[in-house]
Amino acid sequence: MKKLFGLLGYPVGHSLSPLMHNQMFQLLDFDGYYHAFDVEPSQLENAVEGARALQMQGFNVTIPHKVTIMDYLDMVDEEAQEIGAVNTVVMKDGQLFGSNTDGQGYLESLMDVVTTPFPTHDVLIIGAGGAARAIGTVLKREKVRSITIANRTLAKAEEFSGVLESSETSCSALSLKEAEQQLERFSVIINTTSVGMSPRVDDMPLSLERLSRETVVSDLIYNPLETKFLREAKQKGAKTVDGLGMFVNQGALAFELWTGLRPDREKMRRCVLEQLGG
């Protein structure tokens, strides 16, 4: 009998997680199947109980459920508790354990481009949701010099920056307009929102008019692979990091938690690239 895995989110029709994981199950001769489930926010608790009833071995969690899912799990590991969000759930002996592979997955993709020590960097994170919290937490762990949160709702950015503040990393909050006006002071800019995702590919989270060419600009979106945000950054001479690395890395880490097997990340990457037409 196949072991069932999946993705809980809303909407999830665009996700390439099923393609990536099912190919890896096949390549590793693992008897599993991964399915994306559209779960409206009002139905999340019912969906989690359904996962228990179906004896799912594990599942991913995406927008908008990464924070609220924690209310329905039996245990959440230390890093996910610090982040305040879960993106990976493992079933063990009938109990659901929450983890977060987003932060580490992102960090590994960023390290491919950022070669100078993290404590020298001033980082702007656009957004204050679950992905932003994961990235902010791991960057604080790496002792970046400062983290600024810019969000459409300033109060949410202020709350998040207060949680991140530490003795080694100073944290603050700005409106999106304020962030645009101060853009040149950041060495790394990370868009964690869905602004610019297919089909609204002409949208940008903020203007890059004041961008410095020394800045690394990163976008978590992987569909399209090169968002308008990254395209404009590249035109201004900045280094860019697309969302594919984080997507593959967080998926590989989740796969390992579920199965104990180490997947081939390069094959996972090529699988997604082929689907995206890259």
> What are 15's two structure tokens?
């996700």
Task: Give the bridge partners for 91, in sequence order.
Answer: 96
Clarify whether 2 is annotated catalytic: no
Strand order in the sheet with 239-241: 170-174, 146-150, 122-126, 188-191, 216-219, 239-241
Task: Give how far the C-alpha of residue 66 lies from the chain's centroid of Cα atoms, to the nearest Å.
Answer: 10
> What are 130's two structure tokens?
């679950």
Q: Exposed, middle or buried by CB within 10 Å (0-12, 13-18, 19+), for 91?
A: buried
Rounded distance between C-alpha atoms, residue 74 and residue 96, angstroms:
5
CA distances from 188 to 151, 176, 240, 250 (A): 16, 16, 10, 20
Catalytic residue among 2, 3, 66, 143: 66
Half-sphere exposure in the Cβ direction for 34 (13 Å, CA):
25
Which positions are catalytic? 66
